[in-house]
Amino acid sequence: MEKEHGLVKDFLEGKIDRRNFIGRALALGITLGGVEAVLQACGSGGNAGGKANISWSTWGDAARLKLFFDYTNQFNASHPDIAAQFKPIPTTDIDYGAKILTQLTGGVAPDVFYVPNSSMTQYIQDQVITDLTPLLNGSKSQEKASDYIDKLWGVSRTPDGKIYGVPVDCNPYVIWYNKTVLQEAGITQMPADLYEQGKWNRETFSSMLDKVAAKGKTGYILTNATLMLWSWVTTNGGVVYDNNGRGKFVANQDPRSIEAFTWLANNIRAKKIVYAGVLPKGQGADFAFISNQVAFVSAGRYYLPAFRQASNLQYDIVPLPPNTGKRLEPAGVPVTSMSVNSKTKYPDAAFQFLTSYVSTAGQKFRIQGASGSIPSIQGIDQIATSGNIPEHARYFIDTRNVGYASFQAEDSTPGLTTDILKELEPVWLQGADVQQTLNKVANMANQRITEAKSGQ
């Protein structure tokens, strides 16, 4: 018994690791069941040195990954009872969700991780992520749910109000414009000037596209993302899904939605707008913008780090041009949430990391570190607008405040976003009829949405 006590003491003090402890315990005649009981008693699986060892994951480019490592080091320095390890997943957000699900199924997933909107509902149904509602309302949460921008919860908050993921930050869609290209086209009043005067609208935008095209350059590159397409619909006063984004696809029945798609299609056919899906691999919209080949691109703040590094690039931002007579209309706000593995061995430590990461302090650390994003929490907008880079950086905030996360009906239906983009491609690439194509999208989408809801 004395030897057993000494062995446990050495383990608790970190003098031996888990593997050595198990081997020596078995040699002393302790059964496997007894070893497991000791490990549980020593702290949910035997955390050597008394620390809770957790891991977390997301994807990202080199600059963002460095920022994530830096944040992890900062967190560990201020939480001596937790040892967090960042495990980046080298992939894009397109297949990241599937890879995390594979890890969850295999029991090797991280304790905390980003969840793409398209995966959230499946994760909730499979009960592989934790219901964070009571935790966010508890004393251990650094912020309350009410502290976050309400329209950013999206699919991470279920219709009955349960929260399974917290928005880490966000990236409202705006129009970036290249001043040099516009000036070469003879345009003297920049879009931001017109916006301040209440004269920035789709008609003015169309006029600029004409002038840029006349100089042999591309007016605008249309991002191949459904939330970007829906942004052109909503800034035209149209509706994509009924029941506040939770119901059926109705854009094919809504005159303003149809008109928005028709306007986009006509400009693509006239070669004033280029659909991003046809750009050569490795030469995206940001490349064309930096090389002064296009006047307008649509994106969030994530383009800022690259644009700041480009020499002699003159640029600014403006909200999407509305076509309703209003100065500003809602556009999409891409957002990703962070969740906790429901099978984590260290639920308290995992939530401590999450609440720290998405807190006011956590977002300040990451956004000030040039993460290329906007706060998802209220009260710290200045960290994204300080220094006025770009000049009208406050438009990010204006756009976020009236914007919306992706629609729940779409996000809750596996694979629907990808399939909608495929169904719409004939309009952009082959000149297919807008109304007929939207009807096809509606038939496909509504059948899938109904099937998804019946399975929930």
Task: Indicate the number of domains in the chain.
Answer: 3
Q: Are residues 59 and 155 in the same domain?
A: yes
C-beta atoms surrounding 134 within 10 Å = 11
Q: Is 106 exposed, middle or buried (0-12, 13-18, 19+ CB in 10 A)?
A: exposed
Within 8 A by CB and 6+ apart from 264, the residues are: 222, 229, 232, 273, 428
Q: What amino acid is encoded at 424 in this protein? A: L
Q: Tell me: the pLDDT tens digits for 98-140?
A: 889 899 989 999 999 999 998 999 999 999 999 999 999 999 9
Same domain (yes/no): 232, 309: yes
What pLDDT, on the 0 to 100 scale, is given for residue 107? 92
**Burial per residue of 410-445, b for 16 or more beta-carbon CB atoms within 10 angstroms, e otherwise:** bbbbbebbebbbebbbebbeeebebeebbeebbebb
Domain that holds residue 55: 51-170+334-402
- Are residues 209 and 321 in contact, defined by beta-carbon separation less than 8 angstroms? no
Same-domain status, 228 and 310:
yes
Residues 284 and 218 in one domain: yes
Model confidence pTM above 0.85:
yes
Rounded (to 5) percent helix, strand, coil in the chain: 50, 10, 40
Angle between the N-to-C axes of helices 347-357 and 62-78, in degrees from 0 to 180, rounded to the nearest 10: 120
Collapsed DSSP state (helix, strand, coil) of residue 346: coil
Torsion sign over Cα 95, 96, 98, 99:
positive
Same domain, 313 and 193: yes
Report the DSSP beta bridge partners of residue 80: none
pLDDT digit string, tens, across residues 232-274: 999 999 999 999 999 999 999 999 999 999 999 999 999 999 9
Q: Is 408 within a domain?
A: no
- Rg value, the chain, Cα: 25
CATH classification at residue 142: 3.40.190.10
Q: Is 397 within the bounds of a domain?
A: yes
Tell whether 306 and 447 lie within a shared domain. yes
Residues 81 and 194 in one domain: no
CA angle (166, 167, 171) in 5-degree steps: 175
In a domain, 97, yes or no: yes
Distances (CA, A) of 250 to 115, 246, 255, 444, 450: 27, 11, 10, 12, 14
Q: What is the pLDDT of residue 373?
A: 94
CA distance 428 to 431: 6
Contact criterion met (CB below 8 Å) for 354 and 163 = no
Cα separation of 262 and 434, whole Å?
6
For every residue of 155-167, DSSP letters joined together read GGB-TTS-B--EE
Q: What is the mean pLDDT of each run of 10 residues along the chain (456 residues)?
A: 54 57 66 48 48 93 86 96 93 77 92 94 94 96 96 95 97 98 98 98 98 97 97 98 97 98 98 94 91 97 93 96 98 97 97 98 86 92 91 97 97 95 97 98 98 81
Are residues 43 and 103 part of one domain? no
- Measured between alpha carbons, how far is 334 from 324 in angstroms, rounded to an integer? 23
Residue type, 452: A
Contact between residue 56 and residue 84 where contact means Cβ atoms under 8 Å apart: yes
Whether residue 42 is found in the same domain as residue 166:
no
Q: Are residues 310 and 440 in the same domain?
A: yes
Backbone angles phi, psi at 217, to 5 degrees: -115, 165
In this structure, the answer to whether residues 245 and 376 fall within a common structural domain is no
Find the farthest-apart pair of alpha carbons in the chain and give their distance in angstroms, rounded.
89
Q: Do residues 59 and 90 lie in contact, with contact meaning Cβ atoms separated by under 8 Å?
A: yes
How many beta carbons lie within 10 A of that of residue 341, not counting itself? 25
347 located within any domain = yes
- Find the length of the chain: 456
**Residue 259 CA: distances (Å) to CA of 142, 237, 245, 263:** 46, 10, 20, 6
Residues 362, 292: one domain? no
Res 9: pLDDT: 52
Distances (CA, A) of 152 to 48, 145, 370, 404, 405: 39, 11, 21, 6, 5
Residue 407 lies in a domain: no
